[in-house]
Structure 1
Amino acid sequence: MSDRPNLALSRSALDVLMATFDVDVIGLVECLVSPGWRLSFGGADAPAIHYNLSGTGRMVVGGLSPFPLVPHTLVITPAKKPFHIEVDHRTAAAAVNVVEAQWDARFGDRVQRFVAGDVDPMLMLICGYFRATYGSSIDLFAGLSTPIIEHFEPADELGSKLRAALAEISGRQVGMRAMTTAILKQVLVTLVRRSLNSTSIWLERFSILSDRQIALAFADMLARPSADHSVTALAQKAGLSRSAFMARFVRAIGCSPMVALRQLRMKRAADMLAARTFSVEQIARAVGYRSCSSFLRAFRQVHGYIPAESESDGQNSA
């Protein structure tokens, strides 16, 4: 068995990986920058997505070289990396004016607007902080250290999707969070689709997708969380020795296989519990636990409380 990663993922594995991640929109921001101005952001605890609606300028992430922003450029910036957006002054010798953006995570239920400039903006972007996770804490973007940059076309309709997300947050109607997270997930899936045909090889920067053999095993856990998975069986699925599988799984996913499996099972259990259709015993069996007490113990370790039978209607109890 080879221990060398292979970055070519099957279509079916990618389908499972893309279908089952959860997106949480932490906040959306409008950014408007005039010529001769710079809009600067400090590093945040979450990655950010940026879509250039109109105009030209450039972005600098961390200490990396600047890259151009043209209409329909989409950028994902890593968590904890400062970045700035700027537009050249019409007079080359003029100084650049700087606005330090103070984004406030407490106001995730309204759109924040940052303006750098005193004339009509040259550059207009929609930006958003988000998390994309499996289970409770397995982050799809955890291993991202450099920005992802892709250019789209108006026909891809990413701009209209993100404008719709802004409208949802501004309208603050019932179901706003569900709508905005669904919209952002569409955008992220579109980005991953683009990666399959991109001239820029960046798919491996997603830690979960960087190792084909580990991704195959992880996709099997996602597709069948109630199956009787073991480290040995998962290693065989990956085509690796047990020790190599353990080491590479932790490196790619950020935790051991059994910890990851528990998180995936408890996420499924929480979703079933919220539906108020199944009894606790039925949920325990559906997520792979033969013992209700073992299920309750695992649920409390992940979610911090024990679900009561009254939280489901119990009509289908065995």
Structure 2
Amino acid sequence: MPHSTPSSSARLSSRDLDELITLLEIRVLGLSECLVSEGFVLELDGNDVPGIHYILSGTGVLHIDGAASVRLSPHTLLIVPPRHPLRLEVPTQGAGIAPTVISGREHKHVVDSIKRFRAGSTEPMTVMICGYFNAAFGASIDLFEHLSAPIVEQFDASDRLDTYLRTALDELMAQEVGAGAMSGALLKQVIVALVRRSLKTSALWMERFALLGDPQIARAFADMTARPSAPHTVESLAQTACLSRSAFMARFSATIGQSPMQALRDMRMRQAAVQLRAGELALDQVARNAGYANRGAFVRAFRDVYGASPTEFRMKKLTA
């Protein structure tokens, strides 16, 4: 008898989780350095996408709009939901001395395409790397889209997250060919480290994200991401999830924010976009690889997702 509600004890298998993480695409939208001296507070605006913040050195308190304040030490990692302004405070040692508040918007410098925010003129007490990113499956399915509260994890120097983030920063500063892809790959290592840590702590990864909070839906989603060109139907995916058709449709839409067929279309179009960028396959082959026997249907679906025909998309990418 198929289950219609998620079980609190259900877990996504290691194999399914590994498939999902492998197929997750990380895109770095910006990285910056924040340097704060003792007795100062650095204010940072929120962003429309999730933020990642990592303490390289020093201590302090991070005040997150709409959430509890977080005490910081070296190797603290935070993932902050979109549209959550921050205040990084490094208290003075003297009692009763009010900190000086500095607006990051008004005190930033661009060094080799990297923003550097500075609060205080003395030696910085605390150094934090900040970034904004997308972590998505397909054209529009974002793993962190429904994140409502910050994730806070304490790592160690042996985890080497500082190395990944410093190297990503160096890549963006150098602006060499492939810098975006390299920085995305480095940030993905940080996300993988977070997954591993989350699975070992009481605050489980599955409980933090809508997609992984329902293992039955995640299992079907993993099958879709691994084999986007397969002849999936709502019925076959419901069977993979061990759910009735109606229960699967309702839970999938509630979890992903799209119907199963809409999500599958986006995954197929993402695969097609990758192959079109490469410029090696004929359009009909790209369409077949995406699960479309009819070229016209493929062109219409691609235009719906990317706002251009496959031919226009390919020419634009090849001449960019």
> What is the TM-score when the length of structure 1 is the normalising length?
0.93
In the TM superposition, 1:187-266 aligns within 5 A as 187-266=190-269
What's the counterpart of residue 82 of structure 2? Answer: 79
Determine if contact 1:148/1:202 at 8 Å carries over to the other structure: no
Identity of aligned residues (%): 49
How far has the Cα of 1:108 moved from its partner? 11
**Count of residue pairs brought into register by the alignment:** 310
In the TM superposition, 1:1-318 aligns within 5 A as 1-6=2-7, 7-102=10-105, 110-308=113-311, 311=314
Change (3 A) 1:216 1:310: closer
Q: Secondary structure at the match of 2:121?
A: coil
> What are the superposed Cα offsets for residues 56-109 of structure 1, whole Å, 9 maximum, x if unpaired?
1111212322121111111100001112111111112011211122299xx898
CA RMSD of aligned residues (A): 2.0
Determine if contact 2:212/2:218 at 8 Å carries over to the other structure: yes
> What is the TM-score when the length of structure 2 is the normalising length?
0.92
Structure 1 runs not aligned, ≥5 long = 313-318
Structure 2 runs not aligned, ≥5 long = 316-320
Aligned equivalents of 2:280 and 2:66: distance in 1? 52
Aligned equivalents of 1:73 and 1:17: distance in 2? 25
What's the counterpart of residue 316 of structure 1? Answer: none
How far has the Cα of 1:164 moved from its partner? 0.6
Change (3 A) 1:253 1:38: same
> What are the superposed Cα offsets for residues 245-285 of structure 1, whole Å, 9 maximum, x if unpaired?
11111121111110000000000011111121111111111
How far has the Cα of 1:52 moved from its partner? 0.5
Instruction: Write out the 4+ residue segments of structure 1 that deviate beyond 3 Å after TM superposition.
Output: 309-312
> What are the superposed Cα offsets for residues 28-54 of structure 1, whole Å, 9 maximum, x if unpaired?
010111122111122210111011111
Aligned equivalents of 1:201 and 1:72: distance in 2? 20
> What are the superposed Cα offsets for residues 193-219 of structure 1, whole Å, 9 maximum, x if unpaired?
211112333432212111101100000
Determine if contact 2:276/2:313 at 8 Å carries over to the other structure: no
Aligned equivalents of 2:63 and 2:204: distance in 1? 20
How far has the Cα of 1:131 moved from its partner? 0.8
Change (3 A) 1:121 1:310: closer
Q: Secondary structure at the match of 2:132?
A: strand
Change (3 A) 1:273 1:254: same
Determine if contact 1:26/1:108 at 8 Å carries over to the other structure: no
> What are the superposed Cα offsets for residues 158-185 of structure 1, whole Å, 9 maximum, x if unpaired?
1011111111111111211111111111
